[in-house]
């Protein structure tokens, strides 16, 4: 037996190994990145499409972000941790900003980015929902 803060335990139970909840296979992280970028691209185009209806961005973007985060959690096998949060949220943001960059390159002006503030707002709201859903409470 090994003495511990909660009493005596067997040697296997007393070891301070990391929880299985935080051990993620690297291939699953690559799959999560692909899902995040693809969902961000789709979300960026969707926000651009409903951008005329500014009121709907406040409801649609967080709902979409929550759905994307749930999909990401299923891809990584419901694993949690800082790495899952970081990769998932950043992949979604990169995918969401790509349509704005595509339009800026097509117009040959990066001032288009400032004109797409509605799209940036929608991506920001959705990214906040992604992070909030991926975060382990």
CA torsion sign for 132, 118, 52, 50 is negative
Residue 6 lies in a domain: no
Residue 25 lies in a domain: yes
Going by pLDDT thresholds of 50, 70 and 90, the confidence category of residue 48 is confident
Where in the sequence is the domain holding 106, given as residue range(s)? 20-134
Residue 14 lies in a domain: no
Residue 116 lies in a domain: yes
Tens of pLDDT, residues 77-116: 999 889 999 999 999 999 999 988 888 888 877 777 776 7
pTM: 0.83
Mean pLDDT of 40-63: 81
129 φ, ψ to 5°? -70, -40
Tens of pLDDT, residues 121-136: 888 999 999 999 999 7
- How many structural domains is the chain composed of? 1
Q: Mean pLDDT across the chain, nearest whole number?
A: 86
Residue 120 lies in a domain: yes
pLDDT of residue 52: 59
pLDDT of residue 36: 96
8 φ, ψ to 5°? -85, 145
- Is 113:100 a contact under the CB 8 Å cutoff? yes
């Amino acid at each position: 037996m090994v003495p511990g803060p909660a009493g005596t335990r067997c040697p296997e139970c007393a070891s301070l190994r990391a929880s299985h909840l935080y051990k993620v296979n690297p291939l699953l992280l690559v799959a999560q990145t692909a899902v995040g970028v693809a969902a961000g691209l789709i979300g960026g185009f969707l926000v651009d499409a409903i951008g005329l209806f500014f009121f709907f961005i406040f409801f649609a973007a967080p709902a979409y972000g929550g759905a994307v985060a749930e999909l990401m959690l299923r891809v990584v096998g419901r694993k949690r941790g800082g790495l899952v949060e970081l990769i998932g949220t950043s992949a979604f943001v990169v995918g969401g900003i790509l349509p704005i960059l595509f339009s800026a390159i097509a117009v040959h002006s990066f001032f288009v980015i400032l004109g797409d503030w509605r799209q940036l707002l929608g991506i920001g709201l959705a990214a906040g929902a992604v992070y909030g859903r991926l975060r382990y409470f």
